[in-house]
Structure 1
Amino acid sequence: MLICEVNRGGTRGSEYAYVLLGNELVHVSEVGRKVRCEYDSCVYEVLVNADYVYFFSFSRSGYGYVRRCLPGDYEDITSVLDRTKCEGGDIKDVLNTWLRGVRFRIRNPELNRLLNELYSVFVVMVNEVRSYWRSVGGEFGVMGHAARFSEFLSDPRIYYFTGMSIPNDNGRVRSVKALMSLVYENWVAVRIAEALGTRGLIRRGWETDTSSPVTVWFEQGGDASFAILDTMYGPITMWVEFQWDPAIHVFLDAEIIKVNGRLRFIRRPGRRAVRPDVVLVKGVFDRVGSLIQANGVIDLLVECKALPYNEWASDVDEQVMQYLVNFRPRAMALITRYSVPFSVKDGLARRGIKVIDNVTPGGAGVSELMGFVKGVFGG
């Protein structure tokens, strides 16, 4: 069989090709040889008798689609669209039919460990996120480019077939770790909202339909606030993946400073960390722009780490300290799932950054986080 694949290195604009052997999806490169390539498109000659050929396709925005084809030659995209040989659909629509019982061939021990963790601990987290916001009158949703997170929120099985369709274990590992980070920071945001005694949510100015739930809007770098909390300390606006300027991440040298009592965006040599995980400000702010106009001060900035310390140790100086310098919050915390060395915790504490580790479902650090947040806003 001659099978074409478009590989753009991720899940945006790619179309990955697999053959089904028993109940295993095996990438064409493992069971064939590369015949020719043109730009990011390659044709493989598959040397095994497969039950089906699967194509996992992604739009430029990351939206996933799957086709299952009878064995045969598929040397270009038009042949994959042949309805006499192929059937296709959204991944969510075929989970219980021809994706049921199907698994990718995975031989990487680290990836298997991460997947086991993802589908145990992080499924619990995402369920807690969704149920908590509903309990205070909200509806949690994912906007923008976080397609994999949106899938995991909708049905964790969808993410398996999109994230694992990347035909490279290193790419798969990066995908799982990125998803873990997004889930974790949103779970920490929920614990913070609980600590504040959130009684409900305040609608933004444009949310005029009072009969519908309030939108809890996760969008990486979006201008709109994530949620406006009605708390026992008064209204508090929360951002998750806070971004001061919509284009700030494209600069190699972005920094926020205060000049004559007002915040200014300046450029200095070197790359700067610019998107802290969770930001809280007293008051009601629909957008980042309204916070800037009011010359608002960040009351609490929280950076979250879902992975073990050795995987992000360099971030202490390259990211965490930069947030303290760039944003100058009244209070700042580093929240981690795993233990952090005492020397690191002590060094950051001397600079005014509280480190709380072992913050995970059932973990000892949860109560410490709750107490810290109450102290920041109740002090």
Structure 2
Amino acid sequence: MHVWITGLGAVSALGRGVTALTQALQAGRSGITAQPGSPAHALRPHAAAVVTEPLGAHLPPAQRNLYDRHSLMALEAAAEAWAQAGLPEFAPAPERAAVSWGTGLGGSASLEASYQQMFTAQPPRVHPYTVVRVMANSAGSHLAMRHQLRAAQLAVSNACASSAQAIGEALWLLRNGRADLALVGGSEAMLNVGSALGWQAMGVMAPLDADQPEQTCRPFDDGRQGLVLGEGAAALVLETEAHARARGATPLAELAGYGHSVDAVHLSRPDADGQVRAMRAALQDAGLAPADIGYVNAHGTATEVGDAVEASSIEAVFGTGAVPVSATKALHGHLIGAGGALELVATVQALRGGWLPASAHVRASSLGSQIDLVTGAARQSSARAAMSNSFAFGGSNVALVVTRP
């Protein structure tokens, strides 16, 4: 069974909407900026990719209180994808429409706010909607209610692979006949003191480049020093080919393959064997050979070990320098649980437009001897199939394959 992508939506530090994302990636424009940190909490000045547009302006203030920031972003991205797919306000057949959404920490901002209230307010109190804001399925629940998606709700929280896995599991759900349509993607909003302190303590956040903050994240560069946190959301509408054809929908791409593996080796150190298994599983699921793939959107977090391991795993699957590779996190930051969805949207846009985004800010890369790293400007391409990788702490690996329709 063929599954089409008929709608795309995005909210990121590169702007609201897929067009803003696409234009920034084509131009190599970064959305990463310097942040002051918090001296009171020993949070150092750092770089982050912050969404600056107002969220939820169309909602009444009382209703807005129901939503955490990541859920508001989910609504924005999903509304764009839903509209592009040409669907009515509510799913035409609710019992055949599903939602599958990923997030790493869900409503972490609301959780932090509750702690602040508990320790600083007199008497101590927390917001009455704290639980429903924080829970990992909150965004998916809001989307199900907004568009009347009643067939199934999948809420995936699998660290940096969350939204990619949510998309892949929805692919299988449609193939298995449990639904004809699925709204999929992910959202994340963890740019708060508590979350940033955790990443800082782990030692994986890149130190701020004070002279060029926008270039703090440098995936695959020899001078890479770590990741830069970002926030945002991305959504896609998936439909079975038969369902889409019946209503006259236009395919943007086909979601052709999904591969998932688990390292079972270490909580934070990636394993090349696990990544290789995920990529090969995605190729097999899509019925494609490595030579059929014309672009790989790498996980590419800009950590010293992570990029090196991924370069080795891509080389093992595709051959030395055999496929163009780039990592877009240099421009939009690492959206953790939402990263896979945003990067899949970027990959679909690249396939549709006949171009490949560059890995920005690369000054020198010894890893370029293993992979065909796209650097400098966006590269023209006639690729008909592409892969997007998402590799998570905890050892979860997801690869998604998309093809031109």
Work out which structure has the larger RCO, using CA pairs closer than 8 Å and 6 or more positions apart in sequence: 2
Compare the two structures and name the one with the higher helix fraction.
2
Bigger radius of gyration among the two: 1
Compare the two structures and name the one with the higher strand fraction.
1
TM over 0.5: no
TM-score band, normalised by the shorter chain?
Answer: 0.3 to 0.5
> TM-score normalised to the size of structure 2?
0.31
> TM-score normalised to the size of structure 1?
0.33
